[in-house]
Amino acid sequence: MPPPQKPEKIIIDFKKGVIQPYTRKKEVRLSELKEYFSNIEEVEKILSKGKDPLIYEYYEYIHSEATGNLNLGLTIIYPGKIGNEYYMTKGHFHEKDAAEFYFCMKGKGMLLMQNKDGEVSVVELEPGSLGYVPPGWGHRTINTGRNRFVFFFAYPSDAGHNYMIVKEKGFIKIVTEKDKAPKVVDNPRYYKT
Ligand code: PAN
Ligand code: ZN
């Protein structure tokens, strides 16, 4: 039996966009996202110039998987585009049927979701709004604004993460800029197996 856990207080710093305490910080740069943006030529062009921009970073406070816990965290997606596709997270499915929520603190963006039947859903997020990811839905977040898009998330500690489905097939939809506004369009690289 694991030792009983103690109640805790977590500080969410709205100004800095950080949580305290956290157990893990991850920075994701363009070079790690080669397979994820639809315009691969543009990715290669930027990298070949010796540039490797920071696309997003997240802080996670991870609890034991064994005891019905929640993992808590905060993600910052920077503003920008690769070609006409906005900066975004990789996106993933949870290994288990585990829900998650995203509470937007700063900026604006979209929570793009799809289930295994190919149904797609988009929730627009602005400060004060919360996007709910039901169990079984793959999820990715996209910064469609001009400033940092910052959100707080929580999900069951034993959820597990599957990135392979998205890495290999992409999402059914992508979010691009057209006439200076975000548009959700079909992903030309998405294929069904
Ligand atoms: C979030 C994400 C975080 C980064 O904590 O992990 O926003 O996105 P990727 O994991 O897709 O790179 C979450 O959904 N956790 O389950
Ligand atoms: Zn998740």
Select from 161, 167, 171 the residue to mutate for testing ligand 1; criterion: most ligand atoms less than 8 Å from CB.
Answer: 161
The reported pTM is 0.96
Ligand 1 atom nearest 26 alpha carbon:
4
pLDDT the model gives residue 138: 98
pLDDT the model gives residue 4: 75
Which residue minimizes the CA distance to atom 8 of ligand 1? Answer: 89
pLDDT the model gives residue 15: 82
Q: Which is more confident, 3 or 134? A: 134
Chain segment 51-99, per-residue pLDDT in tens? 999 999 999 999 999 889 999 999 999 999 999 999 999 999 999 999 9
* Any ligand 1 atom below 6 A from CB of 90: yes
Mean pLDDT of 173-190: 96
Distance from Cα 22 to the centre of ligand 1, integer Å: 15
* Any ligand 1 atom below 6 A from CB of 138: no
Ligand 1 atom nearest 94 alpha carbon:
16
* Any ligand 1 atom below 6 A from CB of 156: no
Q: Which residues lie at CB < 5 A from ion ligand 2?
A: 100
Pairing of strands 120-125, 109-114: antiparallel
pLDDT the model gives residue 192: 54
Chain segment 125-151, per-residue pLDDT in tens? 999 999 999 999 999 999 999 999 999
Distance from Cα 102 to the centre of ligand 1, integer Å: 10
pLDDT the model gives residue 1: 66
**pLDDT at position 2 over 80:** no
Mean pLDDT of 112-131: 97
